[in-house]
């Protein structure tokens, strides 16, 4: 299994919150509700791609809240950009400078922000937005 935008679980359609911006907060809430009602198993929601987990451990930005599944303080945010001039497996964005560079790039790319728990592998797309040309 290769790592790509499809590896970043959305589990639903996000809501447009601006041109090229999609917010997945409601999808996240719905997923957690389904999990609490027993309609989704822990295996369904804690299935982060190994590449995503690796990025979360190495460069993940710690979140102030605990993991909604295992309640450990191991929740992190990871940003990946995918685009024509970027590697097929995306580029992990770790600094504001990298983000600014992509914003100024003549080619369009899409940045995906994913919430990942490094303890139980819970993962959920939080938002996505376009960078480059059109923004
Ligand atoms: Zn967890």
Max CA separation in the chain (angstroms): 46
Residue 96 scores a pLDDT above 60: yes
pLDDT band at 9 (very low <50, low <70, confident <90, very high): confident
Model confidence pTM above 0.85: yes
Distance 49 CA to ligand 1 centre (A): 14
Whether 127 maps to a domain, the answer reads yes
Whether 4 maps to a domain, the answer reads no
Whether 6 maps to a domain, the answer reads no
Of 91, 70, 69, the residue nearest 80 (C-alpha): 91
Number of domains in the chain: 1
Whether 103 maps to a domain, the answer reads yes
Distance 127 CA to ligand 1 centre (A): 19
Distance 118 CA to ligand 1 centre (A): 7
Whether 126 maps to a domain, the answer reads yes
* pLDDT tens digit sequence for 24-57: 999 999 999 999 999 999 999 999 999 999 999 9
**CB contact at 8 A, 128 and 112:** yes
Domain housing 76: 14-131
How high is the pLDDT of residue 70?
97
∠ CA(111), CA(84), CA(100), 5° rounding?
A: 45
Whether 9 maps to a domain, the answer reads no
Q: Cα–Cα distances in Å, from 101 out to 83, 84, 120? A: 13, 15, 33
């Amino acid at each position: 299994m290769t790592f790509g935008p499809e590896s970043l679980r959305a589990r639903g359609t996000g809501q447009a919150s601006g041109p090229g911006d999609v917010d997945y907060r409601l999808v996240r809430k719905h997923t957690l509700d389904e999990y609490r009602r027993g309609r989704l198993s822990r295996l369904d929601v804690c299935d982060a791609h190994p590449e995503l987990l690796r990025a979360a451990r190495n460069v993940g930005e710690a979140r102030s809240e605990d993991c909604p599944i295992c309640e450990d303080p191991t929740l992190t945010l990871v940003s990946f950009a995918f685009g024509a001039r970027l590697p097929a497996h995306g580029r992990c964005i770790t600094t504001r400078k990298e983000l600014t560079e992509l914003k100024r790039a003549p080619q369009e790319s899409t940045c995906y922000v994913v919430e990942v728990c490094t303890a139980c592998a819970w993962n959920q797309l939080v938002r996505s937005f376009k960078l480059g040309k059109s923004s």
